[in-house]
Amino acid sequence: MAVDLEVVVVAVTKMTSQTEQAVAEHQLTHETSKASLTMLLASAGCALLAGLPNQAQASELDNWDFDAATLIYAESDSRVTAAEPVISATRNFDSETKLNLKLALDTLTGASPSGATPSDQAQTFARPSGRGDYDIKAGEQPLDDTFRDSRAAFSATWSAPINRDWAYSAGGYLSSEHDYRSLGVNGSISRYLNEKNTTITLGGSFSSDSIDPEGGLPIGLSAMAVPGSANFDQDFSNSRQGSSDDKTITDFLVGVTQVINRRTLMQFNYSISASDGYLTDPYKIVSVIDDSSGDNYGGNYQVNGQNLYIYEKRPDTRLKQALYWQTKYQRENSDIIDFSYRFMFDDWGINSHTLDLKYRWQLGDHYLEPQLRWYSQSAADFYQRYTTASDYQNVDEISADYRLGDMDTYTVGLRYGYRMAGGSELYARLALYQQQSSGSSGFGKLKEQALYPDTTATMLTVGYKF
């Protein structure tokens, strides 16, 4: 509309100057020009009037895009089950200026590995709250079944151009669950180069989190109180230090996005992330294994006739760095290949590789997208599946959390989508996720226990974009 009006104004200006030249020569020409001018103005006015009602009629909703989805995540063997509904709403102000609002809720139930090893004897553990206990049968994985949580997360991101060559984004983030809160801000600035074929982005993010665990903060490496013992209350409170702690996470990212050709796009990112504060998992423990020769070699080490378990303790800083490369390519038949690779290394001694491949198979209004992902990590320096009677008093940091151990994971998924008239889209995705851990198999009686069980999960996502 604005462009149309500009053309009309130029035409009017030209016609006016022509009219002025003509005045001295021919009055009739002037009259004709004036008539043309009137007609032109009238038509411009009509165009304006014709345009306005349309704009007024355009409902505010036309400026919004919505994406609503729900993920159901279920691990086998009645472990964690999660349901996560998300709604994302984007208000488009123009093609490059937008505000995105996103709300996610998630509910977790089920049992989570406590870190303790299975044993040839039944084991009893105090619940993290200090109220009550749970029993694990001989040979079974120690899973803490009190795991239950609800989380709500809200984020807002504003992105807009500054001028032809620069753009920026700014955002905020808030997440809350009964024992954890996170508050974050982030921002980025992008510079377009080479006819917008190259984009360089600098980003930063800062998050301040606080943790308020059930039953207070355990003292790292202290002994877990023995359920049912005469001194339980005293021992439990001796293993605690206050009720809450916090951590900060600071991220920086530099990225280059390059258009390779009409069908190919690439991105390279380098990112660095520094965490500082309470990085321990307050619900995780470590088994102490008897390494003195005898009948109980490889069994649980006992003090006063009771198994000894200690609370895990991690370093209070972590520096992670990652390199990320993504390529997206559209084939002649409109199928799209999306490939990415990430290499991460940190000062906890963890290295990881992630390969992700998606192939979008275009079938008219429908598409099918098979997905494959492989992830492999090496263990943190302080990761130990268990500690021993002769070592446990000498460790400074320890965790038996399998998520810090040697691990490979595989995801195989299939997404189906149907694009309807008017641009809305219905989609569903089913994915299987498997975690395979490995490590030393222990000694004595411990060798008979499965220390690194696989975990398999099913993920189902259903969503609608409109």
Partner 1 sequence: MKRIAVAAALIALLSGCADLGVKPWQRDILAQPEMQLISDPVEAGLDDHIYFSKEATSGGRGFGGGGCGCN
Residues 67-106 binding partner 1 (CB under 8 A) are 67, 69, 71, 73, 84, 86, 88, 100, 102, 104, 106
Cβ atoms of 353 and 375 closer than 8 Å: yes
Indicate which single residue of 224, 350, 446, 451 sits in contact with partner 1 (rule: CB under 8 A).
350
CB of 402 to partner 1, least distance (A): 9
Query: Is position 285 an interface residue for partner 1 (rule: CB under 8 A)?
Result: no
Cβ atoms of 212 and 243 closer than 8 Å: yes
**Residues constituting the chain:** 466
CB of 50 to partner 1, least distance (A): 29
Piece of 24-32, 195-203, 225-233, 296-304 that binds partner 1 (CB under 8 A)? 195-203
**Beta carbon nearer to partner 1, 281 or 291:** 281
- The DSSP code sequence of 29-66 is HHHHHHHHHHHHHHHHHHHHHHHHHHHHHS-GGGGEEE
Query: Is position 205 an interface residue for partner 1 (rule: CB under 8 A)?
Result: yes
CB of 304 to partner 1, least distance (A): 33
User: Beta 387-388 vs 285-289: how paired, if at all?
Assistant: parallel
C-alpha to C-alpha distance for 358 and 365, rounded to whole angstroms: 19
Query: Is position 354 an interface residue for partner 1 (rule: CB under 8 A)?
Result: yes
Indicate which single residue of 29, 306, 340, 458 sits in contact with partner 1 (rule: CB under 8 A).
340
Piece of 21-29, 42-50, 55-63, 333-341 that binds partner 1 (CB under 8 A)? 333-341
Residue 451 exposed, middle or buried by CB count within 10 Å (0-12, 13-18, 19+)? buried
* Local structure of 196: helix, strand or coil: coil
Tokens, residue 38: 């009137």
Residues in 356-375 that interact with partner 1 by CB under 8 A: 360, 375
C-alpha to C-alpha distance for 155 and 175, rounded to whole angstroms: 8
Indicate which single residue of 29, 159, 244, 352 sits in contact with partner 1 (rule: CB under 8 A).
352
CB of 314 to partner 1, least distance (A): 11
Query: Is position 240 an interface residue for partner 1 (rule: CB under 8 A)?
Result: no
Query: Is position 109 an interface residue for partner 1 (rule: CB under 8 A)?
Result: no
Indicate which single residue of 209, 245, 290, 312 sits in contact with partner 1 (rule: CB under 8 A).
209
Amino acid at the residue 403 = R
Piece of 20-28, 191-199, 222-230, 233-241 that binds partner 1 (CB under 8 A)? 191-199
Query: Is position 428 an interface residue for partner 1 (rule: CB under 8 A)?
Result: no
CB of 235 to partner 1, least distance (A): 25
Residues in 400-419 that interact with partner 1 by CB under 8 A: 403-404, 407, 409, 415
- The DSSP code sequence of 184-253 is EEEEEEEEEETTTTEEEEEEEEEEEEEE--TT-PBPTTPBPPPTT-TTHHHHHHHTB--S-EEEEEEEEE
Residues in 13-42 that interact with partner 1 by CB under 8 A: none
Among candidate residues 116, 63, 56, the one with its CA nearest the CA of residue 89: 63
Residues in 244-263 that interact with partner 1 by CB under 8 A: 247, 249, 251, 253, 257-263
Residues in 164-183 that interact with partner 1 by CB under 8 A: 173, 175, 177, 179-180, 182
* Local structure of 380: helix, strand or coil: coil
**Beta carbon nearer to partner 1, 144 or 290:** 144
Query: How far lies 15's CA from each of 6, 36, 48, 62, 241, in Å?
Result: 14, 9, 20, 39, 85
- The DSSP code sequence of 86-110 is EEEEEEESSSS-EEEEEEEEEEEES
Cβ atoms of 119 and 141 closer than 8 Å: no
C-alpha to C-alpha distance for 399 and 241, rounded to whole angstroms: 19
**Beta carbon nearer to partner 1, 134 or 324:** 324
Indicate which single residue of 18, 198, 390, 424 sits in contact with partner 1 (rule: CB under 8 A).
198
CB of 327 to partner 1, least distance (A): 9
- Element counts in the chain: helices (H) and strands (E): 3, 25
